[in-house]
Amino acid sequence: MLSLDYVKEHISEIEFDDYIGERRFTKRFIDFLPTSEWGKFGYGYKGEEEYIPKEWTEKNIIAQLKADLDFAIEKAINHRGISSSLMYDVLKSWCIVLENGLEKTDYGWYGDKLIKAIDESYGFGLYVEDAFIESRIQHLKDSIITMLHDTKYEFHIDNGILTVDFDNIGTAKIQITKGE
């Protein structure tokens, strides 16, 4: 695992997200620093009570990774494109800190390849393959229905089967389900 001092000195190499200046990894990282150091990273402490930073331990970093992974899963399953991409960057940053090599994992579908790799590597049990498959199926169904609305084709859905009338030249029946 990288040292706290190393991360402080090399934050620009570890932080991938600079979307509109949000720096999501940095926002999480400063939780491990005394508030007197937050200014070096462009943040200030506005609380009234004394802030006690999290201890820079592998256990605490992995706990933060798990929390961020859980959030990334929610964004991926709900097809939140920008949020999924930003959380992919945060997860990659924690992987660099932990020196586990997983930051090289491809993005996949809303970051699912990295999500699965991290979950399997650390045994969190958060990644549920069926949830991701059902999410993709629903996304496909929604896309088809949007296309049909946009092209003004007549269609109806009955018992999960989509029937489309292609301008009175024929119909198509479509059923999208999880395969074996």
Same domain, 41 and 103: yes
- Within-domain flag for 110: yes
Total domains in the chain come to: 2
Please identify, among 127, 144, 162, the residue that sits at the C-terminal boundary of a domain.
127
Over residues 130-147, the mean pLDDT reads 84
Give the Cα separation of 38 and 31 in Å (integer).
9
Same domain, 83 and 148: no
Same domain, 149 and 61: no
Same domain, 150 and 70: no
- Within-domain flag for 180: no
Give the Cα separation of 138 and 64 in Å (integer).
30
Say what the pLDDT of residue 17 is. Answer: 67
Same domain, 11 and 98: yes
Domain span at 135: 130-174
Say what the pLDDT of residue 112 is. Answer: 93
User: Residue 124: pLDDT above 80?
Assistant: yes
User: Residue 21: pLDDT above 80?
Assistant: no
Same domain, 89 and 10: yes
Give the Cα separation of 67 and 64 in Å (integer).
5
Say what the pLDDT of residue 166 is. Answer: 77
Same domain, 98 and 141: no
Q: Phi first, then psi: give them for residue 42, nearest 5 degrees.
A: 85, 15
Same domain, 30 and 91: yes
- Note the pLDDT tens digit of each residue in 87-104: 999 999 999 999 999 999
Same domain, 123 and 134: no
- Within-domain flag for 179: no
Q: Phi first, then psi: give them for residue 161, nearest 5 degrees.
A: -105, 125
- Note the pLDDT tens digit of each residue in 27-74: 999 999 999 999 999 999 988 899 999 999 999 999 999 999 999 999
